[in-house]
Chain A
Protein backbone atom coordinates (compact mmCIF):
# COMPACT_ATOMS: atom_id res chain seq x y z
CA UNK A 1 0.00 0.00 0.00
CA UNK A 2 1.18 3.48 -0.84
CA UNK A 3 2.34 5.34 2.23
CA UNK A 4 1.30 8.93 2.83
CA UNK A 5 2.17 11.43 5.51
CA UNK A 6 -0.53 11.19 8.21
CA UNK A 7 -0.88 14.97 8.41
CA UNK A 8 -1.53 15.17 4.67
CA UNK A 9 -3.99 12.30 4.53
CA UNK A 10 -7.32 13.43 3.09
CA UNK A 11 -10.35 13.42 5.35
CA UNK A 12 -13.33 11.41 4.26
CA UNK A 13 -16.99 10.97 4.93
CA UNK A 14 -19.07 7.89 4.26
CA UNK A 15 -22.62 8.30 3.00
CA UNK A 16 -24.93 5.41 3.81
CA UNK A 17 -27.83 5.25 1.38
CA UNK A 18 -30.79 3.10 0.45
CA UNK A 19 -31.78 2.60 -3.16
CA UNK A 20 -35.50 2.53 -3.84
CA UNK A 21 -36.08 1.13 -7.29
CA UNK A 22 -38.80 -0.54 -9.32
CA UNK A 23 -36.57 -3.42 -10.29
CA UNK A 24 -33.24 -4.99 -9.35
CA UNK A 25 -30.32 -2.69 -10.04
CA UNK A 26 -26.71 -3.75 -10.49
CA UNK A 27 -23.75 -2.07 -8.85
CA UNK A 28 -22.10 -1.16 -12.16
CA UNK A 29 -25.24 0.53 -13.48
CA UNK A 30 -25.65 2.53 -10.30
CA UNK A 31 -22.01 3.67 -10.31
CA UNK A 32 -22.35 4.70 -13.96
CA UNK A 33 -25.51 6.64 -13.25
CA UNK A 34 -24.01 8.48 -10.26
CA UNK A 35 -20.88 9.33 -12.29
CA UNK A 36 -23.03 10.70 -15.13
CA UNK A 37 -25.16 12.73 -12.72
CA UNK A 38 -22.00 14.07 -11.08
CA UNK A 39 -20.46 15.24 -14.34
CA UNK A 40 -23.75 16.76 -15.45
CA UNK A 41 -24.15 18.70 -12.23
CA UNK A 42 -20.59 19.81 -11.39
CA UNK A 43 -18.57 19.30 -14.56
CA UNK A 44 -15.20 17.54 -14.54
CA UNK A 45 -13.59 20.08 -12.27
CA UNK A 46 -16.21 19.92 -9.54
CA UNK A 47 -16.48 16.15 -9.87
CA UNK A 48 -12.78 15.79 -9.12
CA UNK A 49 -13.21 17.69 -5.88
CA UNK A 50 -15.97 15.38 -4.67
CA UNK A 51 -13.64 12.34 -4.75
CA UNK A 52 -16.57 9.97 -4.89
CA UNK A 53 -16.07 6.19 -4.54
CA UNK A 54 -18.60 3.43 -4.20
CA UNK A 55 -17.49 1.35 -1.21
CA UNK A 56 -20.24 -1.24 -1.14
CA UNK A 57 -23.68 -1.90 -2.56
CA UNK A 58 -25.77 -4.97 -1.90
CA UNK A 59 -28.71 -4.23 -4.17
CA UNK A 60 -30.52 -2.10 -1.64
CA UNK A 61 -28.18 -0.50 0.90
CA UNK A 62 -24.83 0.98 0.01
CA UNK A 63 -21.94 3.11 1.13
CA UNK A 64 -20.29 5.94 -0.78
CA UNK A 65 -17.09 7.72 0.18
CA UNK A 66 -16.62 11.43 -0.46
CA UNK A 67 -14.53 14.38 0.64
CA UNK A 68 -15.41 15.77 4.07
CA UNK A 69 -15.91 19.27 2.66
CA UNK A 70 -18.36 18.20 -0.05
CA UNK A 71 -21.03 16.24 1.81
CA UNK A 72 -23.87 18.67 1.01
CA UNK A 73 -22.93 18.71 -2.66
CA UNK A 74 -22.86 14.90 -2.69
CA UNK A 75 -26.26 14.78 -1.01
CA UNK A 76 -27.66 17.05 -3.72
CA UNK A 77 -25.96 14.99 -6.39
CA UNK A 78 -27.51 11.74 -5.12
CA UNK A 79 -30.90 13.47 -5.07
CA UNK A 80 -30.64 14.18 -8.81
CA UNK A 81 -30.50 10.47 -9.68
CA UNK A 82 -33.98 9.61 -10.91
CA UNK A 83 -33.42 6.41 -12.86
CA UNK A 84 -30.77 3.70 -13.12
CA UNK A 85 -30.30 1.91 -16.47
CA UNK A 86 -33.86 2.77 -17.49
CA UNK A 87 -35.45 1.71 -14.18
CA UNK A 88 -37.09 4.41 -12.12
CA UNK A 89 -35.22 4.74 -8.84
CA UNK A 90 -34.43 7.13 -6.00
CA UNK A 91 -31.47 7.26 -3.64
CA UNK A 92 -32.35 7.94 -0.01
CA UNK A 93 -29.45 9.14 2.10
CA UNK A 94 -29.71 7.43 5.49
CA UNK A 95 -26.84 9.23 7.15
CA UNK A 96 -23.24 10.40 6.90
CA UNK A 97 -20.41 9.22 9.08
CA UNK A 98 -16.64 9.49 9.39
CA UNK A 99 -15.76 5.80 9.29
CA UNK A 100 -17.05 2.79 7.41
CA UNK A 101 -17.69 1.00 10.70
CA UNK A 102 -19.80 3.79 12.17
CA UNK A 103 -21.76 4.31 8.97
CA UNK A 104 -22.52 0.60 8.68
CA UNK A 105 -23.48 0.13 12.31
CA UNK A 106 -25.59 3.26 12.55
CA UNK A 107 -27.43 3.39 9.26
CA UNK A 108 -27.43 0.04 7.47
CA UNK A 109 -29.78 -2.55 8.97
CA UNK A 110 -28.11 -5.92 9.36
CA UNK A 111 -31.11 -8.12 8.70
CA UNK A 112 -32.99 -7.24 5.58
CA UNK A 113 -36.35 -8.86 5.07
CA UNK A 114 -36.79 -9.89 1.48
CA UNK A 115 -39.96 -8.49 -0.04
CA UNK A 116 -42.46 -11.26 -0.54
CA UNK A 117 -43.61 -11.42 -4.11
CA UNK A 118 -47.05 -12.39 -5.32
CA UNK A 119 -49.35 -11.66 -8.20
CA UNK A 120 -52.76 -10.96 -6.69
CA UNK A 121 -55.42 -8.92 -8.39
CA UNK A 122 -56.70 -5.57 -7.19
CA UNK A 123 -59.92 -4.05 -8.53
CA UNK A 124 -60.83 -0.71 -7.02
CA UNK A 125 -63.00 1.21 -9.47
CA UNK A 126 -60.58 3.42 -11.38
CA UNK A 127 -57.52 1.43 -10.32
CA UNK A 128 -57.12 -2.18 -11.38
CA UNK A 129 -54.22 -4.46 -12.05
CA UNK A 130 -52.05 -7.17 -10.58
CA UNK A 131 -49.81 -6.75 -7.57
CA UNK A 132 -46.17 -6.76 -8.65
CA UNK A 133 -44.74 -6.79 -5.15
CA UNK A 134 -45.54 -5.97 -1.55
CA UNK A 135 -43.13 -4.33 0.89
CA UNK A 136 -44.74 -3.93 4.28
CA UNK A 137 -47.78 -1.74 3.75
CA UNK A 138 -46.60 -0.54 0.36
CA UNK A 139 -47.92 -2.16 -2.77
CA UNK A 140 -46.62 -1.80 -6.30
CA UNK A 141 -49.40 -2.47 -8.75
CA UNK A 142 -48.91 -3.31 -12.41
CA UNK A 143 -51.91 -1.47 -13.88
CA UNK A 144 -54.12 -2.95 -16.61
CA UNK A 145 -54.29 0.47 -18.19
CA UNK A 146 -50.76 1.52 -19.13
CA UNK A 147 -51.89 5.14 -19.48
CA UNK A 148 -52.26 5.38 -15.70
CA UNK A 149 -48.56 5.90 -15.16
CA UNK A 150 -48.18 8.19 -18.15
CA UNK A 151 -46.40 11.42 -17.26
CA UNK A 152 -44.47 10.09 -14.28
CA UNK A 153 -42.45 7.53 -16.22
CA UNK A 154 -42.97 4.81 -13.63
CA UNK A 155 -43.87 1.23 -14.46
CA UNK A 156 -46.02 0.53 -11.42
CA UNK A 157 -48.80 2.31 -9.60
CA UNK A 158 -48.01 2.79 -5.91
CA UNK A 159 -50.72 1.83 -3.40
CA UNK A 160 -50.83 0.90 0.25
CA UNK A 161 -52.81 -1.65 2.18
CA UNK A 162 -54.84 1.28 3.52
CA UNK A 163 -56.28 1.72 0.02
CA UNK A 164 -57.51 -1.87 -0.05
CA UNK A 165 -58.93 -2.03 3.46
CA UNK A 166 -62.65 -1.46 3.87
CA UNK A 167 -63.48 -1.61 0.19
CA UNK A 168 -66.45 -3.69 -0.93
CA UNK A 169 -64.43 -5.36 -3.62
CA UNK A 170 -61.42 -6.28 -1.55
CA UNK A 171 -58.66 -8.06 -3.40
CA UNK A 172 -59.59 -11.50 -2.09
CA UNK A 173 -62.32 -10.75 0.41
CA UNK A 174 -60.08 -10.85 3.46
CA UNK A 175 -59.84 -8.01 5.90
CA UNK A 176 -56.06 -7.67 5.89
CA UNK A 177 -56.37 -5.78 2.64
CA UNK A 178 -54.60 -8.27 0.40
Chain B
Protein backbone atom coordinates (compact mmCIF):
# COMPACT_ATOMS: atom_id res chain seq x y z
CA UNK B 1 0.00 0.00 0.00
CA UNK B 2 1.03 3.57 -0.61
CA UNK B 3 1.02 5.07 2.84
CA UNK B 4 1.44 8.80 3.13
CA UNK B 5 1.98 10.93 6.22
CA UNK B 6 -0.05 13.98 5.32
CA UNK B 7 0.68 16.61 7.95
CA UNK B 8 4.33 17.30 8.67
CA UNK B 9 5.89 20.54 9.84
CA UNK B 10 9.51 21.20 8.91
CA UNK B 11 11.73 24.09 10.08
CA UNK B 12 10.61 26.82 10.91
CA UNK B 13 7.38 25.24 12.23
CA UNK B 14 9.01 22.13 13.56
CA UNK B 15 12.59 21.32 14.52
CA UNK B 16 13.64 19.11 11.59
CA UNK B 17 14.55 19.84 8.00
CA UNK B 18 12.36 18.39 5.29
CA UNK B 19 15.00 15.84 4.31
CA UNK B 20 15.42 14.53 7.85
CA UNK B 21 11.67 13.98 8.05
CA UNK B 22 11.77 12.26 4.66
CA UNK B 23 14.58 9.94 5.74
CA UNK B 24 12.85 9.03 9.01
CA UNK B 25 9.51 8.46 7.25
CA UNK B 26 11.14 6.27 4.63
CA UNK B 27 12.67 4.08 7.31
CA UNK B 28 9.26 3.70 8.96
CA UNK B 29 7.72 2.42 5.75
CA UNK B 30 5.98 5.42 4.25
CA UNK B 31 6.03 5.86 0.50
CA UNK B 32 5.49 9.59 0.68
CA UNK B 33 5.21 12.60 2.95
CA UNK B 34 3.42 15.89 2.56
CA UNK B 35 5.11 18.84 4.23
CA UNK B 36 2.40 21.26 5.28
CA UNK B 37 4.02 24.25 6.91
CA UNK B 38 1.80 26.98 8.26
CA UNK B 39 1.07 29.81 5.86
CA UNK B 40 2.02 32.29 8.59
CA UNK B 41 5.59 31.05 9.05
CA UNK B 42 6.76 30.54 5.50
CA UNK B 43 8.58 28.04 3.35
CA UNK B 44 9.96 24.79 4.75
CA UNK B 45 13.73 24.63 5.11
CA UNK B 46 15.63 22.09 3.03
CA UNK B 47 12.80 21.14 0.71
CA UNK B 48 15.03 20.83 -2.36
CA UNK B 49 17.46 18.67 -0.38
CA UNK B 50 14.55 16.40 0.57
CA UNK B 51 14.06 15.49 -3.08
CA UNK B 52 17.54 13.92 -3.04
CA UNK B 53 16.34 11.32 -0.55
CA UNK B 54 15.49 8.43 -2.84
CA UNK B 55 12.62 6.00 -2.42
CA UNK B 56 10.15 8.42 -0.93
CA UNK B 57 8.01 11.09 -2.52
CA UNK B 58 8.21 14.48 -0.84
CA UNK B 59 5.34 16.82 -1.58
CA UNK B 60 5.09 20.47 -0.63
CA UNK B 61 1.64 21.38 0.57
CA UNK B 62 0.54 24.13 2.88
CA UNK B 63 -1.56 24.49 5.97
CA UNK B 64 -3.71 27.58 6.13
CA UNK B 65 -3.83 29.37 9.45
CA UNK B 66 -6.71 31.81 9.52
CA UNK B 67 -8.45 33.69 12.29
CA UNK B 68 -11.81 34.03 10.56
CA UNK B 69 -13.85 32.41 7.81
CA UNK B 70 -13.32 35.17 5.29
CA UNK B 71 -9.53 35.09 5.53
CA UNK B 72 -9.64 31.30 5.20
CA UNK B 73 -11.65 31.34 1.97
CA UNK B 74 -9.43 34.06 0.48
CA UNK B 75 -6.23 32.17 1.33
CA UNK B 76 -7.60 28.88 0.05
CA UNK B 77 -8.59 30.42 -3.27
CA UNK B 78 -5.19 32.04 -3.77
CA UNK B 79 -3.14 28.98 -2.72
CA UNK B 80 -5.15 26.37 -4.63
CA UNK B 81 -3.40 26.94 -7.96
CA UNK B 82 0.09 26.84 -6.48
CA UNK B 83 -0.30 23.95 -4.10
CA UNK B 84 -0.77 20.20 -4.61
CA UNK B 85 -2.21 19.75 -1.17
CA UNK B 86 -4.08 22.24 0.93
CA UNK B 87 -4.76 21.71 4.61
CA UNK B 88 -6.44 23.99 7.12
CA UNK B 89 -5.33 24.36 10.72
CA UNK B 90 -8.58 23.62 12.54
CA UNK B 91 -9.54 23.28 16.18
CA UNK B 92 -11.77 26.31 16.44
CA UNK B 93 -15.44 25.52 15.78
CA UNK B 94 -15.94 28.30 13.24
CA UNK B 95 -12.75 27.52 11.35
CA UNK B 96 -13.65 23.80 11.25
CA UNK B 97 -17.02 24.65 9.74
CA UNK B 98 -15.59 27.15 7.25
CA UNK B 99 -12.92 24.66 6.11
CA UNK B 100 -15.55 21.98 5.53
CA UNK B 101 -17.58 24.42 3.45
CA UNK B 102 -14.65 25.28 1.14
CA UNK B 103 -14.27 22.91 -1.86
CA UNK B 104 -10.70 24.17 -2.37
CA UNK B 105 -9.59 22.55 0.88
CA UNK B 106 -8.25 18.97 0.88
CA UNK B 107 -7.80 18.35 4.58
CA UNK B 108 -9.07 19.75 7.85
CA UNK B 109 -6.10 19.13 10.15
CA UNK B 110 -6.11 19.17 13.98
CA UNK B 111 -9.91 19.27 13.94
CA UNK B 112 -10.09 17.94 17.49
CA UNK B 113 -7.67 20.32 19.17
CA UNK B 114 -10.56 22.28 20.58
CA UNK B 115 -13.40 20.72 22.54
CA UNK B 116 -15.99 21.02 19.83
CA UNK B 117 -14.86 18.59 17.13
CA UNK B 118 -16.60 18.91 13.78
CA UNK B 119 -20.34 18.63 14.45
CA UNK B 120 -23.21 17.62 12.20
CA UNK B 121 -23.46 20.73 9.99
CA UNK B 122 -19.74 20.71 9.22
CA UNK B 123 -19.81 16.95 8.56
CA UNK B 124 -22.56 17.39 5.97
CA UNK B 125 -20.61 20.22 4.34
CA UNK B 126 -17.44 18.10 4.32
CA UNK B 127 -19.30 15.33 2.53
CA UNK B 128 -20.65 17.72 -0.11
CA UNK B 129 -17.30 19.44 -0.67
CA UNK B 130 -15.11 16.32 -0.43
CA UNK B 131 -13.02 17.70 2.42
CA UNK B 132 -11.13 15.01 4.31
CA UNK B 133 -11.15 15.11 8.10
CA UNK B 134 -7.72 14.70 9.67
CA UNK B 135 -7.52 12.42 12.66
CA UNK B 136 -4.52 13.90 14.45
CA UNK B 137 -3.27 11.23 16.87
CA UNK B 138 -0.73 13.61 18.45
CA UNK B 139 -2.78 14.23 21.62
CA UNK B 140 -3.05 10.47 22.13
CA UNK B 141 0.75 10.32 22.22
CA UNK B 142 1.58 13.48 24.16
CA UNK B 143 -1.30 13.85 26.59
CA UNK B 144 -2.03 11.85 29.70
CA UNK B 145 -4.99 11.82 32.04
CA UNK B 146 -7.93 14.22 31.88
CA UNK B 147 -6.93 16.09 28.73
CA UNK B 148 -6.51 12.84 26.80
CA UNK B 149 -9.83 11.53 28.08
CA UNK B 150 -11.55 14.70 26.87
CA UNK B 151 -9.84 14.43 23.50
CA UNK B 152 -10.81 10.76 23.14
CA UNK B 153 -14.44 11.58 23.90
CA UNK B 154 -14.50 14.21 21.16
CA UNK B 155 -12.81 11.90 18.65
CA UNK B 156 -15.12 8.97 19.36
CA UNK B 157 -18.15 11.17 18.78
CA UNK B 158 -16.72 12.50 15.54
CA UNK B 159 -15.78 9.02 14.32
CA UNK B 160 -19.48 8.13 14.58
CA UNK B 161 -20.24 11.19 12.43
CA UNK B 162 -17.56 10.20 9.94
CA UNK B 163 -19.10 6.72 9.63
CA UNK B 164 -22.61 8.10 9.36
CA UNK B 165 -21.81 10.53 6.54
CA UNK B 166 -19.08 8.32 5.03
CA UNK B 167 -16.52 11.13 5.16
CA UNK B 168 -12.97 10.89 3.91
CA UNK B 169 -10.50 10.37 6.73
CA UNK B 170 -6.75 10.86 6.95
CA UNK B 171 -4.57 9.80 9.87
CA UNK B 172 -1.53 11.74 10.99
CA UNK B 173 0.32 12.70 14.16
CA UNK B 174 0.90 16.40 13.49
CA UNK B 175 4.63 15.80 13.17
CA UNK B 176 7.10 18.48 14.26
CA UNK B 177 10.20 16.31 14.66
CA UNK B 178 11.39 12.90 13.44
CA UNK B 179 10.71 11.60 16.96
CA UNK B 180 7.03 12.44 16.49
CA UNK B 181 6.71 10.16 13.48
CA UNK B 182 5.02 6.79 14.02
CA UNK B 183 4.98 3.91 11.58
CA UNK B 184 1.73 3.15 9.67
CA UNK B 185 1.17 0.00 11.73
CA UNK B 186 1.54 1.95 14.96
CA UNK B 187 -1.04 4.46 13.74
CA UNK B 188 -3.46 1.68 12.84
CA UNK B 189 -3.00 0.17 16.31
CA UNK B 190 -3.53 3.56 17.99
CA UNK B 191 -6.62 4.26 15.90
CA UNK B 192 -8.10 0.86 16.74
CA UNK B 193 -8.01 1.85 20.43
CA UNK B 194 -10.29 4.73 19.46
CA UNK B 195 -12.74 2.35 17.82
CA UNK B 196 -11.64 2.81 14.22
CA UNK B 197 -11.77 -0.38 12.17
CA UNK B 198 -8.52 -1.69 10.74
CA UNK B 199 -9.63 -1.54 7.08
CA UNK B 200 -10.81 2.03 7.47
CA UNK B 201 -7.54 3.08 9.10
CA UNK B 202 -5.51 1.51 6.29
CA UNK B 203 -7.73 3.26 3.76
CA UNK B 204 -7.20 6.56 5.59
CA UNK B 205 -3.41 6.20 5.42
CA UNK B 206 -3.54 5.56 1.67
CA UNK B 207 -6.02 8.36 0.91
CA UNK B 208 -3.51 11.26 0.56
CA UNK B 209 -1.96 9.52 -2.45
CA UNK B 210 -5.26 9.40 -4.35
CA UNK B 211 -6.07 13.02 -3.42
CA UNK B 212 -2.65 14.09 -4.74
CA UNK B 213 -3.21 12.21 -7.98
CA UNK B 214 -6.54 13.98 -8.40
CA UNK B 215 -5.06 17.39 -7.67
CA UNK B 216 -2.25 16.92 -10.16
CA UNK B 217 -4.57 16.34 -13.07
CA UNK B 218 -5.03 19.54 -15.00
CA UNK B 219 -8.62 20.48 -15.60
CA UNK B 220 -9.31 23.11 -18.26
CA UNK B 221 -12.98 23.29 -17.35
CA UNK B 222 -15.50 21.15 -15.52
CA UNK B 223 -15.14 17.57 -16.76
CA UNK B 224 -12.42 18.38 -19.34
CA UNK B 225 -8.91 17.23 -18.55
CA UNK B 226 -5.74 18.49 -20.23
CA UNK B 227 -3.55 15.51 -21.14
A positions within 8 Å CB-CB of B: 20, 22, 40-41, 72-73, 75-76, 78-80, 82, 88-90, 92-93, 126-127, 137-139, 148-149, 151-154, 156-160, 162-163, 165-166
The answer to whether A79 touches B189, judged by C-beta atoms less than 8 angstroms apart, is: yes
The answer to whether A20 touches B179, judged by C-beta atoms less than 8 angstroms apart, is: yes
**Most chain B Cβ neighbours within 10 Å, of A75, A88, A92, A160:** A160
22 contacts between A and B (CB under 8 A): A20-B179, A22-B179, A40-B144, A76-B193, A79-B186, A79-B187, A80-B141, A80-B190, A82-B141, A82-B180, A126-B12, A151-B14, A152-B176, A154-B15, A157-B17, A159-B17, A159-B46, A160-B20, A160-B23, A160-B49, A162-B46, A162-B49
**Most chain A Cβ neighbours within 10 Å, of B14, B15, B185, B186:** B15
With A93-B186, A149-B15, A154-B15 as known contacts, state yes or no: A126 contacts B177, CB within 8 Å.
no
Which one of A78, A127, A154 contacts B45 once the chains associate, using CB atoms below 8 Å?
A127
B215 interfacial contact with A, CB 8 Å: no
B187 to chain A, nearest CB (A): 8
**Bound CA–CA A120/B183 (angstroms):** 31
**Bound CA–CA A13/B13 (angstroms):** 39
B167 interfacial contact with A, CB 8 Å: no
Which B residues are in CB contact (< 8 Å) with A165?
Answer: 49, 52
**Bound CA–CA A127/B145 (angstroms):** 36
B182 interfacial contact with A, CB 8 Å: yes
**Bound CA–CA A16/B142 (angstroms):** 23
A44 to chain B, nearest CB (A): 15
Instruction: Give the top 9 A-B pairs by smallest Cβ distance, nearest first.
Output: A158-B16, A158-B20, A152-B176, A76-B189, A79-B186, A162-B49, A149-B15, A75-B189, A160-B19
**Bound CA–CA A157/B215 (angstroms):** 32
With A92-B28, A154-B179, A158-B20 as known contacts, state yes or no: A148 contacts B190, CB within 8 Å.
no
Of residues 103 through 117 on chain B, the ones whose CB sits less than 8 Å from some CB of chain A are none
Which B residue's beta carbon lies closest to that of A149?
B15
**Bound CA–CA A162/B52 (angstroms):** 7
Q: Known contacts A79-B186, A154-B177; can you find 14 more A-B pairs with CB under 8 A?
A: A75-B185, A76-B190, A79-B182, A79-B190, A89-B179, A127-B11, A127-B45, A138-B178, A139-B20, A154-B15, A154-B179, A158-B21, A158-B178, A160-B23
Which A residue's beta carbon lies closest to that of B51?
A162
Which B residue's beta carbon lies closest to that of A152?
B176
Q: B143-177 interface mask toward A, CB cutoff 8 Å, 1 = contact, 0 = none?
A: 01100100000000000000000000000000011
**Bound CA–CA A138/B182 (angstroms):** 17
Which B residues are in CB contact (< 8 Å) with A149?
Answer: 15, 177
The answer to whether A72 touches B192, judged by C-beta atoms less than 8 angstroms apart, is: yes
B132 interfacial contact with A, CB 8 Å: no
The answer to whether A152 touches B15, judged by C-beta atoms less than 8 angstroms apart, is: yes
**Bound CA–CA A69/B107 (angstroms):** 35
Which B residues are in CB contact (< 8 Å) with A22?
Answer: 179
Q: B10-48 interface mask toward A, CB cutoff 8 Å, 1 = contact, 0 = none?
A: 011111110111011000100000000000000001100
**Bound CA–CA A110/B28 (angstroms):** 20
B59 interfacial contact with A, CB 8 Å: no
B27 to chain A, nearest CB (A): 8
Which A residues are in CB contact (< 8 Å) with B187?
Answer: 79
Which one of B14, B17, B23, B148 contacts A152 once the chains associate, using CB atoms below 8 Å?
B14
Which A residues are in CB contact (< 8 Å) with B182?
Answer: 79, 90
Which B residue's beta carbon lies closest to that of A160?
B19
Which one of A40, A73, A157 contacts B193 once the chains associate, using CB atoms below 8 Å?
A73
**Bound CA–CA A160/B16 (angstroms):** 9
With A40-B144, A82-B179, A88-B177 as known contacts, state yes or no: A159 contacts B20, CB within 8 Å.
yes
